[in-house]
């Protein structure tokens, strides 16, 4: 059986390990962190994530969908909180019953590692850092980072930690799943014609928590709570333990101006998110903002995703995106599924399959990256605009009329596996139709108005 070496045991690396374990390949995973299953506190991004159809399809292929979905909290609509702190508007995500699921990141990651490890052909090496890729030899360069032994020294000098030697690892297939700041991707930078774009948006984010109230959810759990305030956005997703993870997205300048001392941050929350302020509580807000710095949000596009006939960039290593479509993990999970399907299609001819995979996946990754940027505009402001609400109503109407042809944009991304680049093409066609209809309607309205004026004049003239 061939050997696959995976860099990173995060969400995408761990799911890839499940896929290849199932295929019977020899699987070796190198993860920089300690085993998260043994850690009290795991540092990292977002506590919970929205899982949608693409992610579910990939989990289903490795037999984990049902279990994972059961562990989550379904969300059927966006609940938009108005600035008065008392009124709301509800925007269902799709047709009745269609929903996304709030999942705990750490639990999901742990379940996938444990599932992969059940196969005797899978080995995880934690506290192993992937340093680079040696592309002359098509090998991964890895170094153990655990408890360095001490080099004895003489005299009063403190002993110096000895570094573990670097090892060069060979494999039939190397999957770089080492996240947005991928060391593997970094070492590919000098490859001719490797395209790479990285962008930090002006916003950062801070996570807070709303605790359970009398052992119950403090407010409605089966919705995605949203406080859109122009350039600021607050969101809240429920957890199974009846808490909510609340995330504030704001420009770094706003964090500095309004959230750098306790009194300012209280005033800021009271003014913009009065209902959330009450539920979060002064103590928790003060404590969080005194301890935590805003985290940056980065978007990465690159092309190709495959190299040297045996290396593939996947997940955030290939396409980190801003989190406003809730698709980063879902897209990464779909990567695993598409790679598995493509290898099967090419009878495990790795070189041809990974080239085909990259050709297919690059346009999709670029498209969802752009859509995520677009949704950033939508979430922070557009959801409150009448033009947005009208378009949503129109799309729902058309979807009821032509259920197999006209899908709203959000539904195509979230509830189908239509390739992302095709989603964008379909939306552009819909936009053209809508604008033609608007032109025709306004032309007809103008003609109608002209006739009306003419008739009126005629009458006046009589
Ligand atoms: C605030 C926020 C909210 C989000 N919400 C959602 C959501 O609702 N839905 C959604 O689909 N997506 C969401 N995402 C995106 C999602 O978190 C990422 O797309 C997903 O984590 C990508 O998984 P990954 O395995 O590619 O990368 P990561 O999860 O970053 O995992 C990379 C792994 O590689 C390891 N690693 C890194 N460097 C090395 C190295 N040199 N050697 C060895 N190991 C290494 C890391 O320790 C880590 O374990 C959100 C992101 C953010 C920031």
d(CA 62, CA 67) in angstroms, rounded, equals 11
pLDDT in tens, the chain (462 residues): 999 999 999 999 999 999 999 999 999 999 999 999 999 887 766 789 999 999 999 999 999 999 999 999 999 999 999 999 999 999 899 888 999 999 999 999 999 999 999 999 999 999 999 999 998 888 999 999 987 655 455 555 555 667 899 999 999 999 999 999 999 999 999 999 999 999 999 999 999 999 999 999 999 999 999 999 988 999 999 999 999 999 999 999 999 999 999 999 999 999 999 999 999 999 999 999 999 999 999 999 999 999 999 999 999 999 999 999 999 999 999 999 999 999 999 998 999 999 999 999 999 999 999 999 988 777 666 666 777 777 778 888 888 888 888 889 999 999 999 999 999 999 989 888 887 887 777 666 666 665 565 556 544 333
Torsion of CA 354, 106, 41, 145, to 10 degrees: -20
d(CA 128, CA 145) in angstroms, rounded, equals 6
Give the residue whose CA is nearest to atom 1 of ligand 1: 46
Strand, coil or helix: 172: coil
Q: What is the pLDDT of residue 374?
A: 86
Of the candidates 416, 417, 331, the residue with the CA atom closest to the CA atom of residue 366:
331
Count of helices and strands (H, E) across the chain: 15, 21
Q: What is the pLDDT of residue 457?
A: 53
Give every CB contact of residue 82 below 8 A, 6+ residues apart in sequence: 88, 89
d(CA 230, CA 87) in angstroms, rounded, equals 18
pLDDT, tens only, 311-336: 999 999 999 999 999 999 999 999 99
Is 237's C-beta closer than 6 angstroms to any atom of ligand 1? no
pLDDT, tens only, 335-363: 999 999 999 999 989 999 999 999 999 99
Of 16, 17, 32, best ligand 1 pocket probe by most atoms within 8 Å of the beta carbon: 32
Say if residues 250 and 204 touch (Cβ distance below 8 Å): yes
Distance 47 CA to ligand 1 centre (A): 11
Give every CB contact of residue 320 below 8 A, 6+ residues apart in sequence: 179, 180, 298, 299, 300, 328
Which segments within 70-117 are labelled E, that is strand?
73-75, 77-81, 88-92, 100-104
Residue 319 CB burial class (10 angstroms; 0-12, 13-18, ≥19): buried
Q: For ligand 1, what atom is nearest to the CA of residue 129?
A: 42
d(CA 332, CA 353) in angstroms, rounded, equals 18
Give every CB contact of residue 141 below 8 A, 6+ residues apart in sequence: 130, 131, 132, 133, 134, 166, 167, 168, 169
Give the residue whose CA is nearest to atom 15 of ligand 1: 328
Give the residue whose CA is nearest to atom 9 of ligand 1: 326
Could you tell me which residues are beta bridge partners of residue 213?
Answer: 216
Element holding 227 (H helix, E strand):
strand 223-229
Is 328's C-beta closer than 6 angstroms to any atom of ligand 1? yes
């Amino acid at each position: 059986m061939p050997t696959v070496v995976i860099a990173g045991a995060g969400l995408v690396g761990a799911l890839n390990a499940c896929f290849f374990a199932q295929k019977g390949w020899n699987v070796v995973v190198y993860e920089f962190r300690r085993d998260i299953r043994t850690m009290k506190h795991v540092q990292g991004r977002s506590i919970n994530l929205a899982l949608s159809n693409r992610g579910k399809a990939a989990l289903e292929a490795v037999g984990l969908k049902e279990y994972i979905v059961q562990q989550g909290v379904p969300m059927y609509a966006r609940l938009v909180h108005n600035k008065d702190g008392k009124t709301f508007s509800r925007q269902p995500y799709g047709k009745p019953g269609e929903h996304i699921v709030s999942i705990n990141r750490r639990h999901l990651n742990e379940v996938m590692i444990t599932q992969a490890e059940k196969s005797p052909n899978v080995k995880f090496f934690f506290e192993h850092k992937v340093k680079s890729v040696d592309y002359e030899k098509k090998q991964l360069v890895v170094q153990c980072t655990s408890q360095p032994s001490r080099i004895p020294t003489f005299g009063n000098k403190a002993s110096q930690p000895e570094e573990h030697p670097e090892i060069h690892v060979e494999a039939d297939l190397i999957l770089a799943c080492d996240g947005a700041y991928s060391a593997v991707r970094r070492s590919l930078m000098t490859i001719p014609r490797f395209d790479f774009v990285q962008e930090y948006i002006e916003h950062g984010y801070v996570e807070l928590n709303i605790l359970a109230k009398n052992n119950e959810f403090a407010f409605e759990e089966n919705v995605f709570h949203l406080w859109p305030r122009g350039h600021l956005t607050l969101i809240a997703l429920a957890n199974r333990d009846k808490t909510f993870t609340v995330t504030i997205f704001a420009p770094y300048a706003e964090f500095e101006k309004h959230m750098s001392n306790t009194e300012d941050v209280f005033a800021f929350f009271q003014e913009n998110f009065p209902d959330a302020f009450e539920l979060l509580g002064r103590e928790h807000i003060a404590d969080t903002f005194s301890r935590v710095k805003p985290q940056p949000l980065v978007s990465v596009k690159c092309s190709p995703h495959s190299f040297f006939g045996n290396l593939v960039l996947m997940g955030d290593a290939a396409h980190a995106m801003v989190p406003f479509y809730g698709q980063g993990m879902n897209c990464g999970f779909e990567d695993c599924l598409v790679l598995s399907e493509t290898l099967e299609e090419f009878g495990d001819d790795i070189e041809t399959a990974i080239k085909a995979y990259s050709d297919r996946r690059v346009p999709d990754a670029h498209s969802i990256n752009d859509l995520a940027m677009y949704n950033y505009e939508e979430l922070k402001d557009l959801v409150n605009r009448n033009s947005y609400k009208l378009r949503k109503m129109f799309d729902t109407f058309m979807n009821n009329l032509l259920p197999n042809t006209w899908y709203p944009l959000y539904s195509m991304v979230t509830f189908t596996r239509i390739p992302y680049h095709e989603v964008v093409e379909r939306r552009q066609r819909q936009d053209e139709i809508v604008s033609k209809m608007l032109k025709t309607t306004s032309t007809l309205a103008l003609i109608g108005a002209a006739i009306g004026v003419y008739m009126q004049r005629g009458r006046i003239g009589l």
